[in-house]
Amino acid sequence: MSLTHQDVVEHLRRIIDADRIIDDEATLKLASVDHYRKLQTIFDTHTMQLPAAVVMANSTDEVSKILAFADANDVNVVARTGGTATEGGLESGTDRSIVVDGSLMNEIISIDAYNMQATVQCGVPLQLLEDACREQGLTTGHSPQSKPIASMGGLVATRSRGQLSTLYGGIEDMVVGCEVVFAGGAVSRIKNNPRRAAGPDIRHIVIGNEGALCYITEVTVKLFPFMPENNHYLGWTTKEMSKGFDVLRDVMVAGLKPAVARLYDYEDGQLQFSHMANPDEVTIIFTTEGNAGVARATADGIREIIARHPDCKPIDGDLVDTWFNDLVWGPEKVIAESNRIRESRNVNRTTEVSADWTSIQKIYAAVIPRIRAEIAGITMVGGHSSHSYINGTNLYFNYFFDLGDTAPENETEECYLPIISIIVDETLRYGGSIVHHHGMGKARAPWVKDEYGTSYPMLEKLKQVYDPNGVMNMGTIIPNK
């Protein structure tokens, strides 16, 4: 017999304190969506299935008991900490769901400056950890745009990539060990070591699982020296995106490790920089940091490469410094964005992909004109590359459109998804990856088989083994049947 929402709440009250089980309608509406359907929150027009409750767990033991109950009673579990997801991964997914919120699990367990690692519970905000590390002359090296509000569990679960990734790597390069809870309540701990060759690296079953395989309760991440006095800020303009991609490639192939390596087309650059005056221009920016000699040598190496591209014209490094210091999005920017959308009915969205150096230029050249030609109400479409590697880079498409007669609650299906479909279609056509760092969520799950190809059975078997009853974040990564 299926449990009603009230049945679920009553059972949960036998597991944890009643005051940490929240089931008022206003809270449940907010918990039924993430930024993928942000207009439902902005306009208060919620239409999604509501979870039975938001459960505020405060220990691994509680998470274990909650997941054991959920698995035994076919109750879908949505894992949440900071709540900054953008791809529908926090949607309920079914009419019998609970949100297990780990934000009360917010202890910084240790900052080990000798072994250069920090261990934290899943609900520790990244900004809080970063501030604590900087007091000891250290940094996490992780700086996504959501840093002021994102939490460590969610960053690991979504395979986050920060703005300084070219130097420090993504979250997958930073995680040393972790503790997780699987469906049914089993707790597993992956011990902290700099490297092991004892079989496959099982950290990668956890990193990026988006709550579809397990609930992350604790993580240990690497730390790095924090030496901002050694930073260099560099910038140039050139004539077209293809030239900019060539510069990025040359820097990466040379083995240089800038902290930031970015390329903006004119449309996206206008939103970022005050110097953008010529529609034929694109902007290339770099920052370097770390050890003084290495940071200086990296900056010098970039200048040497730029000198081989005579079309590149320098811009004031102070502009890059100002831009970089305004990149992160705290609550005040989220509120301002919501107010702007509510008043103007003009919506801004983003979609990020990745590919090798040859394919990324083809994807960019194919996507931009298709969106302009096929999507009604587009007021701006542009893009930038923000995370580069020796063998390729990413593209972060940025676009605005007017709602017109579309009801806010229908914006995702009628306006947003058609644009995502174009981007995904062209990315798959040229062999790229349809997600670079936001996660699949439920938004891009319909294309998971196309993304994985013949490796899809490997992913599917992980789901079957670690979540045999399908109660972990139903519809995320692997779509509902």
If you write DSSP's letter for every residue of 257-283 in order, what string do you get? --SEEEEE-HHHHHTT-S----TT-EE
Contact assessment for residue 441 and residue 88, using Cβ atoms and an 8 Å cutoff: yes
Distance CA 470, CA 475 (A): 9
Give residue 356's pLDDT. 98
Give residue 157's pLDDT. 96
Span 229-256, mean pLDDT? 96
Q: Is pLDDT above 60 for 276?
A: no
Helices 241-253 and 357-374, interaxial angle, to 10°?
Answer: 150
| Exposure class string for 332-360: b at 16+ Cβ within 10 A, else e | eebeeeeeebeeebebebebbbbbebebb
Span 265-290, mean pLDDT? 84
Q: Which residues contact 146 (CB under 8 A, 6 or more apart)?
A: 82, 84, 126, 328, 329
Distance CA 18, CA 31 (A): 18
Q: What is the pLDDT of residues 408-420, one digit of tens each?
A: 999 999 999 999 9
Give residue 273's pLDDT. 76
Phi, psi of 333 (to 5 degrees): -75, -35
Q: What is the pLDDT of residues 73-103, one digit of tens each?
A: 999 999 999 888 889 899 987 889 999 999 9
Distance CA 410, CA 39 (A): 9
Q: Is pLDDT above 60 for 185?
A: yes
Give residue 145's pLDDT. 82
**Cross-strand partners of 233:** 287
Q: Which of 161, 159, 151, 101 is nearest to 126 (CA)?
A: 151
Span 472-480, mean pLDDT? 93
How far does CA 328 lie from the centroid of its chain?
13
Side-by-side strand order, sheet with 97-101: 21-22, 53-56, 97-101, 76-80
Q: What is the dihedral of CA 204, 175, 297, 236, to 10 degrees?
A: 70
Binning pLDDT at 50, 70 and 90, where does residue 274 land? low
Percent of the chain having pLDDT more than 70? 99
Least reliable range by pLDDT among 48-62, 268-282, 293-307: 268-282
Span 131-146, mean pLDDT? 94
Span 256-285, mean pLDDT? 86
Q: What is the pLDDT of residues 458-468, one digit of tens each?
A: 999 999 999 99
Give residue 282's pLDDT. 93
CB atoms within 10 A of CB 25: 9
Span 233-260, mean pLDDT? 96
Summary mean pLDDT of the chain: 94
If you write DSSP's letter for every residue of 332-381 in order, what string do you get? HHHHHHHHHHHHH-EEEEEEEEEEEHHHHHHHHHHHHHHHHHH-TTEEEE
How far does CA 101 lie from the centroid of its chain?
18
Give residue 308's pLDDT. 95
Q: What does the DSSP 8-state code read for residue 88?
A: S
**Tokens standing for residue 194:** 């700099």
Q: Is pLDDT above 70 for 377?
A: yes
Phi, psi of 127 (to 5 degrees): -60, -40
Distance CA 20, CA 404 (A): 41
Contact assessment for residue 400 and residue 379, using Cβ atoms and an 8 Å cutoff: yes
Q: Is pLDDT above 70 for 275?
A: no
Q: Kind and range of the H or E element at 153?
A: helix 152-157
Q: Which residues contact 115 (CB under 8 A, 6 or more apart)?
A: none
Give residue 12's pLDDT. 96
Q: Is pLDDT above 90 for 391?
A: yes
Give residue 1's pLDDT. 59
Q: What is the pLDDT of residues 306-340, one digit of tens each?
A: 999 999 999 887 888 888 877 777 788 889 999 99
Q: Which of 60, 61, 66 is nearest to 21 (CA)?
A: 66
Contact assessment for residue 64 and residue 184, using Cβ atoms and an 8 Å cutoff: no
Binning pLDDT at 50, 70 and 90, where does residue 277 land? low
Q: Which of 12, 42, 48 is nearest to 29 (CA)?
A: 48
Q: Which of 73, 75, 61 is nearest to 181 (CA)?
A: 61
Span 383-395, mean pLDDT? 96
Span 414-440, mean pLDDT? 96
